[in-house]
Structure 1
Amino acid sequence: MNERFDCLTHVYKCFLSGSRPSLGAAHVAGVMCGLVASPGGDGVDGVDVTCISVSLVEMLTCLVSQRQPGPAAELTQYCADTLTLLLRDMDLMTQLVHHFQSEDQIVSHLAAKSASSCVVYQLLKSGTVSPVWQQKCVQAFLSSPSAAELDACLWSLTDVLKRLLRTAPQEILWKLVAPFDSSLSALCSRFLPENQQLLMESSSRAWGTTFCLLLDLLEALTASSLISVAGLKSPRLAHIHSSALLTAVSCSSEYFVKKRALLLLKRLILQKAGEDWAPEDVLSARQRHEHFRSDMNMLAQTVLTAVAADWLQSVQVGSVSFFGGTRHIRGDDGQKPDCVMLRGVSLLLLKSMELHIQTAGRTAEQDSATEVYGYLQSLWGFLRRCSVQLTEVTHLCCWVSLLFGEQDDDMMEAAKALLSIFLHHRLCSGVDDLAELEAACSSGCNPHCHFLLLLQSVSFDHSTLLDFLISSETCFLEYFVRYLKYLKADWQGFTAACERDTESHCHVSLQESLARLCGGDKPALTFKVEPERVESSTCAQPTCVIPPVEGVSLASGLRLVEYDSSGESDPESMEICEDEPGASVKRERGRTPLSTTQKQSESCNSTGFLSEPTSTREAEGLSPPRLPSRQRSCSLSGQGSCETLARVVACLSELREVVTRLQTKKLFPYNPSSLLKLLAGVEMCFQQSPPSQFNK
């Protein structure tokens, strides 16, 4: 045992240093395979040596895949020779899959990890799937109950899929998944029953672990859905069993199972399966299979049918968990609700409604419009029941900022879905625009209010909007283009929203609600005004101030990137199609996405509105927007509604100027011509507004 241990130690140190071991490949392979098959001792020492041997197998596959030139090529060849002996002559895979059922969880997991590496190595080298590994997994999927062997097989197949999705061609993925198609269907039928009682009876801690591993596999299969053109059912299993997933969210006895099932449903409805681990260029290039549209419609209808059957009433949202347990907020208001669950349920319903109205068309218009707003009322009831303090928010349009303020990507998805819902209801209701806007405010989906709250949350800073436009992390571009089209068509409704006393209607209650919702040491919004940042420290009424990122303020002129010094991009490589309702966007591939900025602090001026980041404009060399004299005098007159309108247009005007300059220098990552036309159209509407509008 000591000699074999010394052999493994020598090989391991050589691999770490990048040098070729002095021992022959055949000798090393024999020692490794012997220790994997039979540790040669009892107790901890035997288990430790087995773990070292299994780990060295994975290290071999990693070194082979690097294919480094020069002196390192000798080590690569040594590893390839050792692997060939292990897999072809010594039947190492049989020994690895045998450890899948080990009672020691570390041994079982390391064996699954090394087996996955060997499967990927063989697939990429010879295009064949290891028959021993394949047979073991199929047998486990067909018959094994919740146990270590099934868990190891689920994890191993998921790991292989994730690795191959990064580099492997479509043919390799098909060879991998095709043999498991029927066994995976049988497994899902067993673990995702439609019967609520069966799901509740099968709930246990061991079952929950296996269930979550199955959900991980379903997400990986969904991310590889381009192979469904070959007629495979496996990549569609998550959509097919969406009803059972909803049942798991409401009926599972384990909270972590509820949450994991909901997050999978959220990724399905947002078409973001695999976004946490798959390369963006791979996901963007993914082809939609022939059943994609029908699968998405089926998912949306399943969600809406469940909501109509009071599914939301059965969804329980727990307290947010921390590494130290659960945190109680100050006072007697209980615990902070799990906002991840709240956002997941909200987005699942909103996106399902959006998909529904896109496919329903104008059939049964009046009934459809009533039905859509009925779903929103169900959502408000769910949020109120789960301790979100919406009962104190008199203006329901504030709920988007309240719930999604910390997640830019989710907030943009929610705003886009609500815009689609509103436009559909406006088309179907047949009432005049202003009456429709009042009804939309009562249901929390007035798009003008959402846009104004978004601009207020970023302190009317055009550079933040520019970051959103360039970043690929949110759907802001699609939302922005579609909203600007509607803004031009409903300028009167937009000015009415600006005239609404936004501060008195939602900011105070929004601040109090966020303080209770966040439950931290500092509320997300605060009445406190920092004297050193305020020109005039007197405010007419309390306003919400976004807390600064630590060490960062707008006065510093900090940007994600210095746009004037950015590298050249491919010219005119993106088009925005204005003709399509969803503003179809073709993004430039191969560019590194920029992260969106955090919401930054700004002080308030004497009229109670957030002051404009003048130092930021000076840092960029920008002059204030050139507005006609009537609008300039209006913006300085102290009229709240007039100032809001002028500041919105000033922000959009500055954005247009910056985008135009970047386009001229060929620094903008896509062709923004259509966007610039829409921004110019907003300025034109503002300039043509009747003077009487500003003298109310």
Structure 2
Amino acid sequence: MKTFFEALEQLYKKVLLGATLENDSHDYVFYLNPAFSDQDCSTITSSECSDAPDVQDKQDPSSVSLSTFSVAPVCLQRHSLMSSTREIMLLQLTVIKVMITRILSVETEFHAKEKYRDIIKILLKSSDIESQLTCMFQNSEKLLSHMAAKCLALILYFQLKEKITLSNSWISFCQKNISEYSESNKVVYCLWILTFVIKEIFKDTSSQKTEILKQFLTPFDTLFEVFYNSLFSQHFENHQDASKLINSLICFLELLELLIASRIYLKLHFTCQRILFLKPSCVLDVITWPIQAFVKRKLIIFIKKCLLCKVGEDLCRGSVPAFMPPDNPLDVDLLALASAVLQAVNLGLLRTLSVCGKRSCFGGGEVLAGYERAPGPDHVILRALSLLIIRSLEIKFQNCASANEMKVDYQRFMSELLTFLKPHLQPCLQSHNLCEWLSRVFIEQDDDMLEAAKASLGIYLKLTRECEATESLTQEKEMWNHHTHENGYNPHCIFLFLLKNIGFDSTVLLDFLISSETCFLEYFVRYLKLLQKDWDNFFTICNYFDVTASKDNIHICCISSLIQGRKSSATEASPLVVVGSHTDAHSWVSWASAASSEPLNHGITLEKAHTKLQANCLSTPGASQSLVDYDSSDDSEEGSTSLCLVNSRLTSSHQEAMKKTQDTFGASGDKKELGPESQSRPLVTEESNTLFSVYCDIAPNNPNNTASEVGISHRTVKCFEELQGAIYRLQKKNLFPYNPTALLKLLKHIETIYNKSMTPS
């Protein structure tokens, strides 16, 4: 005869397949009640088991109907020899979980779904299953506790979907355990279940999700604030077992994120959704605790997502409205959070925060013996902190009217940030253009980089408007430009560094425009509008980029010629060393060593390194030819192919230096010098006075000289032209995801402005 466990196993297989159940629902409920296997199992005597009738004992197990199992309980004692009570309970919980999942699935056949729904409803009425499941939370068996929590979460969600009143026992249990922080596992399970249910509500495709969530949160609204105060008032160092506090902290942060997301996307208004904004210092203080780095990282990223209004974006993807209406209370709360962040920075948060500790690894925190990890900072924290400060400044300035106050604040906080970042950026950030910090910090994270660029642009535009209103911008233009460069937020520099990092590849910009994962479209449109009005400043900065690049490259060649044994040449080249670079000779020696991929030890001379460097310059595939192609070709597709000197979005420092060398010295003569004969000659003559003449030849005072034609301004406009052509081709084939007409007009206007500026007057 079939045993209790075998009957339950057969039921599990049928539910797993979504099969329709034939028997009476009460028969199935008997086998799903966890109380039976937990309590009644011990009451079955061996005599009851032996006296049980041997019904259909000879039938094949696969053909036995579950209706015959009414006699099976008396034989449960016999089955205990084969399967423990724990295994039966785990199987019961699994069947309940799979059955509810089948009810919620749109793929389940209607009649089967109705049968499953009827079984679960009878189970809820016939027993206080919520209380039984909460009792399992304290079970020493971790798997059983987890399965009980997951099963209870699904039951609660099922009740919400079916508009069944939630059990008072569950609400009381949850209210009791989250009324204040304790080290009990019950707290973690309560937080986990609440989070799980809210996630399921977010995934719901019905229009009733707002009402469902409102019903679920109402009993706990005021309790969350009490728990928030209790949890964040803990003293980490006073806990002997800090792991329980960390577990509670991480679970509650995830719950907080969902609560804030429900405010943004579902337009709910509960007190619990504003806890973070009303008391942000509580969370910010945790960053200063002597706590593991991954917890600090999670906190910083959480606050960053709140300031960017990106909380819960993974759950809400595909259902987020295209246009978010203004939310004045949310704006007030964001300002409070931004002010708290800036206040923490002002009190020395960056000076006390260390990011050079042990970094986390994929798959664990330990490194196998024999595999050493390169030392360095946690770049995730560096990026998140940087964006946190920039975004906080943008929010604060949106509500600030004084231009002088904004300039002072920005200078103070950017000084703090740059001081914090500089030791962690290798190679070191050059002092002659601090705007490079943004692309250097965010080079591995496109979405954060564009968010930071957009925030920086917003700050610039706000300051510009306020300064123009007081007529101080036109009167002190030079000081204004110096301020933007000194504090690393000049929009033209930031955009040019972005283009340099992607190798002026228009296909990358196209990818950004098409993708919904970044804010590039919003940032790009705002920047193009600025570029139309501020073209002269943009062109001046482009020339500055060209001159800086040429100075750096001339300095490399000067160092090489100094080591070649010409004493007189060394004496003459010394002034160029001072003028041509902001770094000393030793830094360029190490750069040449890195470019040659060979260590410059005592056995290798700098002359050999320079020879290797020149060989690398000349052997770059299509390097010289690309200058001719993109300067002469009218076909945007061919121009795109020849212009793209790198295949990756992110250009290494070696490749970028090679490109600077090609642009500078390849542009000093006419196009004929780029033929095969000229390629066999050295790029630069050996005499220092000739080097100086090359520098003089590329001075950008005259907008019509050849250097400007192949300089960074030309490459930028050429990239825009290719992007314009690619967008137009996609639009003709109805492949572009939105109407790009306004964007195309902006790009065309930039092209017109450039052509006018390059036309001799």
In the TM superposition, residue 273 of structure 1 has moved relative to its aligned partner by: 0.3
Partner of 2:38: 38
CA distance 1:533–1:105, shift in 2 (3 Å): farther
Superposed, which structure 2 residues align to 1:117-516 within 5 Å? 117-126=154-163, 128-143=165-180, 145-167=182-204, 168-193=208-233, 198=235, 200-201=237-238, 204-226=242-264, 231-282=269-320, 291-317=329-355, 318-322=357-361, 323=363, 325=365, 335-360=375-400, 362-363=401-402, 365-385=403-423, 387-389=424-426, 391-394=428-431, 395-428=433-466, 430-431=472-473, 432-499=476-543, 500-501=545-546, 503=549
Query: Percent of counterpart pairs with the same letter?
Result: 29
Partner of 1:50: 89
Alpha-carbon distance in structure 2 between the residues aligned to 1:37 and 1:154: 28
In the TM superposition, residue 26 of structure 1 has moved relative to its aligned partner by: 2.1
Structure 2 contact 442–449 (Cα < 8 Å) conserved: yes
In the TM superposition, residue 128 of structure 1 has moved relative to its aligned partner by: 3.4
Listed one character per residue, the Cα deviations across residues 358-408 of structure 1 (whole Å, up to 9, x for unaligned) are 111x23x213211112111110112235x3336443332222222111111
Alpha-carbon distance in structure 2 between the residues aligned to 1:672 and 1:308: 43
Partner of 2:132: 95
Partner of 2:102: 63
Listed one character per residue, the Cα deviations across residues 419-451 of structure 1 (whole Å, up to 9, x for unaligned) are 122333444563444543333222222211111
Listed one character per residue, the Cα deviations across residues 506-563 of structure 1 (whole Å, up to 9, x for unaligned) are 99999999x99xxxxxxxxxx99699861247999xxxxxxxxxxxxx96999xxxxx
In the TM superposition, residue 58 of structure 1 has moved relative to its aligned partner by: 1.2
Partner of 2:573: none
RMSD: 3.9
Deviates more, 1:234-243 or 1:42-51: 42-51
Alpha-carbon distance in structure 1 between the residues aligned to 2:144 and 2:222: 29
Q: Which amino acid aligns with 2:224?
A: L
SS in 2 for 1:271: coil
Alpha-carbon distance in structure 2 between the residues aligned to 1:286 and 1:482: 19
Alpha-carbon distance in structure 2 between the residues aligned to 1:529 and 1:55: 64
CA distance 1:281–1:34, shift in 2 (3 Å): closer
Structure 2 contact 34–92 (Cα < 8 Å) conserved: no
In the TM superposition, residue 15 of structure 1 has moved relative to its aligned partner by: 2.4
Listed one character per residue, the Cα deviations across residues 234-273 of structure 1 (whole Å, up to 9, x for unaligned) are 1112222321111111224232321221111011011000
Structure 1 contact 158–217 (Cα < 8 Å) conserved: yes
Alpha-carbon distance in structure 1 between the residues aligned to 2:122 and 2:255: 31
Structure 1 contact 535–605 (Cα < 8 Å) conserved: no
Partner of 1:656: 724
Alpha-carbon distance in structure 2 between the residues aligned to 1:455 and 1:45: 65
Structure 1 contact 105–148 (Cα < 8 Å) conserved: no
Alpha-carbon distance in structure 1 between the residues aligned to 2:272 and 2:172: 17
Structure 2 contact 181–227 (Cα < 8 Å) conserved: no
In the TM superposition, residue 599 of structure 1 has moved relative to its aligned partner by: 4.9
CA distance 1:101–1:212, shift in 2 (3 Å): same
In the TM superposition, residue 478 of structure 1 has moved relative to its aligned partner by: 1.0
Structure 1 contact 396–443 (Cα < 8 Å) conserved: yes
CA distance 1:332–1:172, shift in 2 (3 Å): closer
Alpha-carbon distance in structure 2 between the residues aligned to 1:293 and 1:605: 45
Alpha-carbon distance in structure 2 between the residues aligned to 1:491 and 1:208: 53
Q: Which amino acid aligns with 2:530?
A: Y
Structure 1 contact 635–643 (Cα < 8 Å) conserved: no
Alpha-carbon distance in structure 2 between the residues aligned to 1:668 and 1:132: 55
SS in 1 for 2:711: helix
Q: Which amino acid aligns with 2:622?
A: E
Deviates more, 1:430-439 or 1:260-269: 430-439
Listed one character per residue, the Cα deviations across residues 136-181 of structure 1 (whole Å, up to 9, x for unaligned) are 2111111450221110000000111111022243221111111101
Alpha-carbon distance in structure 2 between the residues aligned to 1:110 and 1:556: 59
TM-score using structure 2 length: 0.71
Determine whether 1:689 maps to 2:734: no
Deviates more, 1:466-475 or 1:407-416: 466-475
Structure 1 contact 252–258 (Cα < 8 Å) conserved: no
Determine whether 1:5 maps to 2:49: no
State which structure, 1 or 2, has the greater radius of gyration over its C-alpha atoms. Answer: 2
CA distance 1:156–1:75, shift in 2 (3 Å): same
SS in 1 for 2:399: helix
Structure 2 contact 180–226 (Cα < 8 Å) conserved: no
Deviates more, 1:344-353 or 1:97-106: 97-106
SS in 1 for 2:314: coil
Partner of 2:151: 114
In the TM superposition, residue 637 of structure 1 has moved relative to its aligned partner by: 7.6
Structure 2 contact 367–373 (Cα < 8 Å) conserved: no
SS in 2 for 1:280: coil
Higher helix share: 2
SS in 2 for 1:250: coil
Listed one character per residue, the Cα deviations across residues 607-664 of structure 1 (whole Å, up to 9, x for unaligned) are 53599xxxxxxxxxxxxxxxxxxxxxx9998626742111111111222233334444
SS in 2 for 1:277: helix
In the TM superposition, residue 350 of structure 1 has moved relative to its aligned partner by: 0.5
Listed one character per residue, the Cα deviations across residues 64-92 of structure 1 (whole Å, up to 9, x for unaligned) are 112447xx333222211221121121222
Q: Which amino acid aligns with 1:57?
A: I
Partner of 1:569: none
Partner of 2:662: 608
Q: Which amino acid aligns with 1:164?
A: I
Alpha-carbon distance in structure 1 between the residues aligned to 2:538 and 2:26: 77
Structure 1 contact 266–348 (Cα < 8 Å) conserved: yes
Structure 2 contact 549–660 (Cα < 8 Å) conserved: no
Aligned length: 600
Q: Which amino acid aligns with 2:85?
A: G
